[in-house]
Amino acid sequence: MAAPRNESLAPPKPRAGRLGERALYEQVAEQLRSRILAHSLAPGSWIDEQALTAEYGISRTPLREALKVLAAEGLVTMKLRRGAYVTEVSARDLAEVFHLLALLESDAARVAAQKATPVELAELLAIHDELENALDDRERFFAANERFHMRLLEIADNRWRIQMVADLRKVMKLNRAQSLLKQGRLEASLKEHRQIMAALKARNAERVQALMQHHLEAGREAATLA
């Protein structure tokens, strides 16, 4: 008998007396999410369910459950009688996503400035140092930037806000290719991060809130579709 095409997607075997690992559809969703955010499944492209079930060696049931998860995250759009498509992000989508990010993350930054412990501030500074050293590597820069923003949210400690921002940032990443091409944006973003980090260290809650608001508004302008 031939081995499965992708053993990582084979249904996990639960241990005796314990619940099983993640459901198969969650593993499929993770695989597809990675491909969508990497743009190997391009925005607007049709998702060929038959090809994917053959590639992963699974039935259509876990694939369709995975597509529902991705649709709830905004990464996939379900079209009646036409199937699933990778979401295309419009200028209005970007404006609305960045507007909400600015509101949610600026408030989180204000809270973090007030309550972050010295250890937590040191963690943020370490991530900021990664940004400083990644200016010539866009992928590393964006990965460190993501960690900084999400760590700030964790320090502010509102699980509903963390989930909302995580979902909004997934949609934002669908347009990352365009924002990466904006001349001088990485340098400007780093300068904004330096100001945010300085305000955090000074425990200036009002200033860090205003700086984060400006930072995300500038990100929106850079990401705006032509």
Which pLDDT belongs to residue 20?
38
Say which residues have a Cβ less than 8 Å from residue 220's Cβ, sequence separation at least 6: 94, 95, 98, 99, 102
User: Would you state the pLDDT for residue 220?
Assistant: 86
* Residue 183 three-state SS: coil
* pLDDT tier for residue 223 given thresholds of 50, 70 and 90: confident
Q: Which residues of 5-43 are buried (b: 16+ CB within 10 A; e: fewer)?
A: eeeebeeeeeeeeeeeeeebbebbbbbbbeebeeeebeb
Which of the two residues, 16 and 113, has the higher pLDDT score? 113
Average pLDDT over residues 90-105: 92
**Which position has the higher pLDDT, 102 or 13?**
102
Name which of 90, 100, 124 is nearest 217 in CA terms: 100
Report the distance separating Cα 197 and Cα 124, nearest Å: 8
Q: Which pLDDT belongs to residue 15?
A: 43
Mean pLDDT, rounded, of the chain: 87
Min mean pLDDT across 100-109, 173-182, 197-206 is at 173-182
Give the up-direction half-sphere exposure of residue 132: CA atoms within 13 A in the CB hemisphere: 9
Q: How confident is residue 9, by pLDDT bands cut at 50, 70 and 90?
A: low
* β-strand partners of 84: 78
Q: pLDDT tens digit string along 162-184?
A: 999 999 998 888 876 555 556 68
pLDDT of 91 > 50? The answer is yes
**Reported confidence tier of residue 76, pLDDT bands at 50, 70, 90:** very high
Using CA atoms, how far apart are residues 183 and 6, in angstroms rounded to an integer? 40
The span from the CA of 30 to the CA of 10, in Å, is 14
Whether the Cβ atoms of residue 207 and residue 215 lie closer than 8 Å to each other: no
Under the phi-then-psi rule, with left for phi > 0, alpha for psi from -120 to 50, and beta for the rest, what region is 184? left
For the chain, the residue count is: 226
> In terms of Cα–Cα distance, which of 141, 158, 66, 122 is closest to 76?
66
Query: Does the pLDDT value for residue 192 go beyond 90?
Result: yes
The pLDDT assigned to 122 comes to 97
Short-list 190, 166, 182, CA closest to 221: 182
Q: How far apart are CA 102 and CA 217, in angstroms?
A: 7
Structure confidence at residue 5 (pLDDT): 44
Please report, rounded to a whole number, the percentage of residues in the chain having pLDDT higher than 70.
Answer: 85
pLDDT at 38: 86
pLDDT value at 161 more than 60 = yes
pLDDT per position as a tens digit, 25-61: 999 999 999 999 888 998 899 999 999 999 999 999 9
